[in-house]
Chains A and B, each alone.
Chain A
């Protein structure tokens, strides 16, 4: 039974380079989302339907403040789309990966926890880029004419919004049961989409909601996008609100995330 043990090789070939590990994880995460039917529905199909539906349904009156319907709606729909990928989809995927031990297993490989997080963030940004391309193409086909001066600020606002909502996703996924996350993530998306100042500006919301929505990450992102793409300028307060949420949620996720 006792075979003479051969000594282990003195030098182990080691890990793949860090960049290759993170890129592999990014591709893995991106493929997982874009190949999953439900994820595709919530991240691409629903935002496109909202955009086309609201633009074409002229019997629904919208106060566009003098802009065309598509010019008014497209920035908010882009904001909504980024919320679906960075929050809803990421929260659900991470919660189930956590429950199934996927996060723990990958953290024992050379990828580590840092590489896992980097891969997730880059994966979310990649899916976000795909969403922006698809939704912008549909919007342009519907006659969208964004303010060229606002394109770069809008991209930066989307990146900031992604950071805030990914932090929220990881906070929820790392502290709650997977089934609860599934329900909550969809509910929060629905509430924020209707009453969070994303697609419709906070000032059009009823009563005290208009003040609350301004301080929500959804309202701040929506206003940043409309400011950039309608008027070529992002309101400074919206950047402050998004930075504040990102810092608070990121800190919370870092402190409270449970791997087990």
Chain B
């Protein structure tokens, strides 16, 4: 069924002990696309994905994967869905290669194990027991187990957690290849660069509900979507920022410690005004970029900057 979404979540509610972890969440994921579910810890990402995997039953709302109910029609669905759990799900006492071969035996026509092992660099630790693997090695093995059955849909719960940069590259490459093969990829992440670089569609989730969604360009676009980001040799206080804002005619805020953001309608004159104001105060400019907002800016605007 080309064109119809592979995963549809509609009004999903899931509570634990009376507290709604997922509260009326709706999203859709298309075949041949990477859908990133982005949100802070505890936002309800994992619970949502577990409902799609048939590991939890929704309290309310509907979940359909490839048109099937993940709990009631699990038997038909399981061969076509690949799952990578956040905590791995790998037995610690067996060798990595044996674990992958074991999962492969559950499918009629699994992927070639040698090719998959090479793609993800599993060869060097195939004979090592899972207990002795590094975090990144475990993640790569778990990803291999998720895709070995040639799934039409894969759910990857924080696939890059604990990975070194090399592992991450290999994983991202495999995810792009799955997308090119028409697989619907749903991944949860709280890593902005992962969502920004990998996802065709980003669903921002907080407090159990979707607060924004779209492609990355759509999400970062605003009416005035250019800004000036600057860093200075000495910190600016709130009074400085208000004064700077008045002299350049734009809103100025502190994006993070020592980094300031001038937002809205940036023109060549804005940049000149910023540098002139700094020169007038004898503050050395140590960095300045003009550009669009990043996904992280959008995310922090949406979910707040306070720690939780």
Contact = CB atoms under 8 A, between A and B. Distances in A.
Interface stretch (B28-36, B223-231, B237-245, B250-258): B28-36
Interface size of B as a range: 35 or more
Given A12-B152, A13-B107, A5 B78 contact: no
A12 B90 contact: no
Contact of A108 (B54, B92, B107, B181): B54
A12 B150 contact: yes
B83 A108 contact: yes
* Majority DSSP secondary structure for residues of B touching A: loop
B159 interface: no
A61 to B, nearest CB: 42
Interface string A111-125: 110000000000000
B182 A6 contact: yes
Interface of B: 2, 6, 30-33, 53-56, 74-75, 78-81, 83, 85, 87-94, 102-103, 105-109, 142, 145, 149-150, 152, 179-184, 200
Interface in A1-31: 1-9, 12-17, 20-21, 24-25, 28, 31
Contact of A104 (B89, B103, B149, B200): B89
A100 B87 contact: yes
A15 B53 CA distance: 16
Contacts of A105: 83, 85, 88-90, 142, 145
Contacts of A35: 93
Nearest to B30: A5
Interface residues of A, number: 40
Contacts of B105: 16, 20-21, 24
A112 B106 CA distance: 10
Contacts of B74: 112
Given A5-B32, A8-B31, A110 B106 contact: yes
Contacts of A6: 32, 180-182
23 contacts: A5-B30, A5-B33, A6-B180, A6-B181, A8-B31, A13-B79, A13-B107, A14-B79, A15-B79, A21-B106, A28-B94, A35-B93, A101-B88, A101-B89, A104-B89, A105-B85, A106-B89, A108-B78, A109-B103, A109-B106, A109-B149, A111-B106, A260-B56
A155 interface: no
Given A16-B105, A20-B105, A36 B32 contact: no
* Majority DSSP secondary structure for residues of A touching B: loop
A186 interface: no
Contacts of B31: 5, 7-8
B85 A101 contact: yes
Interface of A: 1-9, 12-17, 20-21, 24-25, 28, 31-32, 35-36, 96-97, 100-102, 104-112, 259-260
Counting chain B CB atoms within 10 Å of each CB, which of A6, A31, A110 scores highest?
A110
A4 B5 CA distance: 15
A37 B81 CA distance: 35
A110 B79 contact: yes
